[in-house]
Amino acid sequence: MGKIEELAEKYRRHISLPWQQTISGAQRIIIVIYDKELERTLRARKNAFENVTKEAGHKWFGVDITKAFASWMAADEYREAYFEAPEDLKLKLDAEFAQYVADQISACLAMPEADASSVVAVFGAGGLFGFARVSQVLKLIEHKIKGRLLVFFPGHFEDNNYRLLDARDGWNYMAIPISLHGGGA
């Protein structure tokens, strides 16, 4: 069995359990942690996660934030000026970009079909690297999660710390980790 299939099996064991409905939004988040080198393989086999979700009797919705920075930047009227002086972009990134990404995920969470028995899967967290923190985005949306939010996270989980792409300082979070390398479900 390949690594992605092993992760899907661990996820299946978790998602098949009865869901508590009286938990906080942060506890409704499941983070599947995998080696960054497996990103393309995971995307090619993401249906394995969708299939086990549906087999467990839950609906599945996906949102891809890989190109969020590109679409956010392309829509900005001052983008050319930022390309000329990228250091000026830091304030705008800090003030607006995490909310932009949160709004993309929130749009999926707000769909009437995405109810308390649904999984909203987020792909492309690695695309945030250098622009926004995953933890910052999750804090903005955790109160909107009705069912479960599944975040595919290329990086590591160690000592209750998540590290995106193995490079950033990690953060603690109340989410359920699923990993091949211990420390996860």
Q: Give the total number of structural domains in the chain.
A: 1
Asked if residue 107 has pLDDT above 60, the reply is yes
| pLDDT tens digits, 145-178 | 999 999 999 988 877 777 777 775 566 677 888 9
Q: Residue 140 belongs to a domain with what CATH number?
A: 3.40.50
Question: Across residues 61-76, what is the average pLDDT?
Answer: 94
Query: HSE on the CB side for 94, CA within 13 Å?
Result: 5
59: its two tokens: 């609906």
115 DSSP assignment: -
Query: What are the beta bridge partners of residue 28?
Result: none
Q: Is 160 helix (H, G, I), strand (E, B) or coil?
A: coil
Within 16-145, residue ranges assigned H as helices are 39-44, 47-55, 68-74, 79-84, 89-92, 98-109, 134-141
| pLDDT tens digits, 9-49 | 999 999 999 999 899 999 999 999 999 999 999 999 999 99
User: 77 or 143, which is more confident?
Assistant: 143
Asked, for residue 129, whether it belongs to a domain, the answer is yes
Other C-beta atoms within 10 Å of 18: how many?
A: 5
Query: What are the beta bridge partners of residue 148?
Result: 119
Asked, for residue 172, whether it belongs to a domain, the answer is yes
Beta pairing class for 176-178 and 161-164: unpaired
Residue where the block lists tokens 């000592």: 159
List of long-range contacts for 127-131, beta carbons under 8 Å, 24+ apart: 127/65, 127/66, 127/67, 127/68, 127/69, 128/65, 128/68, 128/69, 128/101, 128/164, 129/164, 129/165, 129/167, 129/168, 131/69, 131/93, 131/97
Asked, for residue 164, whether it belongs to a domain, the answer is yes
- Domain of residue 71: give its range: 3-15+23-178
Closest CA to 10 of 2, 165, 114: 2
Question: Across residues 91-96, what is the average pLDDT?
Answer: 88
Asked, for residue 183, whether it belongs to a domain, the answer is no
Asked, for residue 185, whether it belongs to a domain, the answer is no
Asked, for residue 100, whether it belongs to a domain, the answer is yes
Asked, for residue 184, whether it belongs to a domain, the answer is no
